[in-house]
Copies of this chain bind each other. A is one copy, B any other.
Amino acid sequence: MAIVYIGLGANLGDREANLRTALDHLRESGQVAVLAVSRLVESDAVGGPSQPRFLNGAARLETDLPPHELLRLLKAAEYRAGRRPTGVRWGPREADLDILLYGNRVIDTPDLRVPHPLLRERAFVLGPLSELAGEVHDPVTGKTIRELLLELQRRAWGHRTARLLESRAAMLDYVAMVKRNRFTLGLVPTMGAFHEGHLSLMRAARKACDKVVVSLFVNPTQFGPSEDLDRYPRQLERDLALASETGIDVVFAPPAAEMYPERTVSTWVTVENLSETLCGAARPGHFRGVATVVAKLLNLVRPDVAYFGQKDWQQTVVIRRMVRDLCFPVEVRVEPTAREPDGLALSSRNIYLDAGERKEATRLFRGLGAARDAFLAGERSAAALRAKVLAEIEGGPGVRAEYVEVVDAETLARVEDLSGPAVIAVAARVGRTRLIDNLLLGGAA
């Protein structure tokens, strides 16, 4: 008995019915057991004249027939499904049945090559096959079908344009494919307007995960009524190009109605005690909006790892807490803040700054630097460190500190003396633009 995998294709007539007829023919021959059939997927025809789209699948057979006799039976099944010789190479057809794998056999004859010579080239073959035989080895390369699919997808997508998905349904389909194939998955949640900070998160994810999804969603529920939701920078084309260069696989950019189909939001995720201080004091409801949309994204994308930037420290603390409290099965990784050469933390909001403001904006980083120098020199009083930062920030025109706080790195509770891991967090207005930055002190991750 041999286990054989065959490919199924059809692009004429009632395609699904034709494939069913062909499989029935195999069953009725008494020579073949049809053990499993994959889902059927659509694909464009490759080569040949212009023709309708194909429906493709794979089936697992068990048979005593030697390969060439099985081939004859497949031809008879194609005939039974309505296919007649046309003389057109790569032409349209009612049914197309190919031997993909025959046990571990390697066969190279004029009329039959097994494994199928295009096996490693065609996603519409490897995708359905991987569903049935993800762990089965291609006897030529020694790789599993799943590994071949991953390689093919990387060749096809990895160095070209990231795929743009705009609906939840398309995202769920993609995730189902990833899970079926047991690929590891990274998620980089963003609001777009990519800068080096975002790109470094994408590169970290690219390095660690089989597949990487970057979500790009300017989430309305985390903006206050008087905030910059409407003028927040949106530049999808440029973002797609930048993200593609990092080699990520998918940009998930749903319209707002896709993420919030109801007029009013009913379900909120709130993280108490961490959401009300620092930025939360000036932006009531902000972290509730962040936690809620991240919960939605985690459930939609189901990543193994999610990546966030250290610049939004309070956000990372809120998300980590939510993930732990609600038992989300995801690892949260926080990557260092990316900075301009003069130290200014990269932010999508930096584009709001005019030339003079841009120059003054470095005061946040310089203030934090002064505090770090003092800390390294032995200063442990939070009040003294705050004073250093404040003096630098408010030492110039047009910059006004909103807060400068020294807090515990996990609980965000104010500390007086720095014993454990702490964060100095800063928010300031530079002109009309609100900027934030922070610095980890004393061994925080």
- How far, in whole Å, are A319 and B326 apart by their CA atoms in the complex? 15
| Structural contact, A299 and B327, CB atoms closer than 8 A | yes
| Structural contact, B135 and A135, CB atoms closer than 8 A | yes
Task: Tell me the residues in window 274-325 of chain A with beta carbons closer than 8 Å to chain B beta carbons.
Answer: 274, 291-292, 295-296, 299-300, 302, 321-322, 325
Given contacts A135-B133, A299-B327, whether A322 and B168 have CB atoms under 8 Å apart is no
- How far, in whole Å, are A325 and B136 apart by their CA atoms in the complex? 39
- How far, in whole Å, are A408 and B147 apart by their CA atoms in the complex? 51
- How far, in whole Å, are A265 and B327 apart by their CA atoms in the complex? 13
Chain B residues with CB below 8 A from A295, complex form = 326
Given contacts A299-B326, A299-B327, whether A137 and B62 have CB atoms under 8 Å apart is yes
Chain B residues with CB below 8 A from A327, complex form = 168, 296, 299-300
Q: Is A45 part of the contact surface with B, judged by Cβ < 8 Å?
A: no
Q: Which of B267, B270, B274 contacts A326 (CB 8 A)?
A: B267
Chain B residues with CB below 8 A from A271, complex form = 266-267
Q: Which of B35, B60, B266, B322 contacts A267 (CB 8 A)?
A: B322
- How far, in whole Å, are A62 and B299 apart by their CA atoms in the complex? 39
Q: Is A139 part of the contact surface with B, judged by Cβ < 8 Å?
A: yes
Chain B residues with CB below 8 A from A272, complex form = 265-268
Task: Tell me the residues in window 311-368 of chain A with beta carbons closer than 8 Å to chain B beta carbons.
Answer: 321-322, 325-329
Chain B residues with CB below 8 A from A142, complex form = 1, 33, 35, 62
Chain B residues with CB below 8 A from A321, complex form = 266-267
- How far, in whole Å, are A194 and B327 apart by their CA atoms in the complex? 26
> In whole Å, how far is A303's beta carbon from the nearest beta carbon of chain B?
13
In the complex this chain forms, how many copies of it are found?
Answer: 2
Task: Tell me the residues in window 191-212 of chain A with beta carbons closer than 8 Å to chain B beta carbons.
Answer: none
Chain B residues with CB below 8 A from A299, complex form = 326-329
Chain B residues with CB below 8 A from A164, complex form = none
> In whole Å, how far is A173's beta carbon from the nearest beta carbon of chain B?
12
- How far, in whole Å, are A33 and B139 apart by their CA atoms in the complex? 13
A269, closest chain B residue (CB): B269
> In whole Å, how far is A12's beta carbon from the nearest beta carbon of chain B?
31
Chain B residues with CB below 8 A from A328, complex form = 299
- How far, in whole Å, are A292 and B271 apart by their CA atoms in the complex? 12
Chain B residues with CB below 8 A from A109, complex form = none
Q: Is A3 part of the contact surface with B, judged by Cβ < 8 Å?
A: yes
Mask: chain A, 253-272; 1 = CB below 8 Å from B; 0 = not = 00000000010111111111
| Structural contact, B104 and A325, CB atoms closer than 8 A | no
Chain B residues with CB below 8 A from A132, complex form = 135
A292, closest chain B residue (CB): B326
| Structural contact, B329 and A302, CB atoms closer than 8 A | yes
Q: Is A178 part of the contact surface with B, judged by Cβ < 8 Å?
A: no
- How far, in whole Å, are A292 and B269 apart by their CA atoms in the complex? 9
| Structural contact, A136 and B135, CB atoms closer than 8 A | yes
Q: Is A158 part of the contact surface with B, judged by Cβ < 8 Å?
A: no
Given contacts A299-B326, A326-B296, A327-B300, whether A267 and B270 have CB atoms under 8 Å apart is yes
Chain B residues with CB below 8 A from A274, complex form = 266
> In whole Å, how far is A416's beta carbon from the nearest beta carbon of chain B?
22
Chain B residues with CB below 8 A from A165, complex form = none
- How far, in whole Å, are A299 and B298 apart by their CA atoms in the complex? 10
| 27 A–B contacts from the bound complex (CB under 8 Å) | A1-B104, A1-B142, A33-B142, A35-B137, A35-B142, A62-B142, A103-B103, A103-B104, A135-B135, A135-B136, A264-B273, A265-B272, A266-B272, A266-B274, A266-B321, A267-B291, A267-B321, A268-B269, A268-B270, A268-B272, A269-B269, A269-B326, A295-B326, A296-B326, A296-B327, A300-B327, A302-B329
In addition to A103-B103, A168-B327, A265-B272, 18 A-B residue pairs with Cβ atoms within 8 Å of each other are: A1-B142, A3-B104, A35-B142, A62-B137, A133-B135, A134-B135, A135-B135, A136-B136, A264-B273, A265-B325, A267-B272, A267-B321, A267-B322, A267-B325, A267-B326, A268-B269, A299-B328, A300-B327
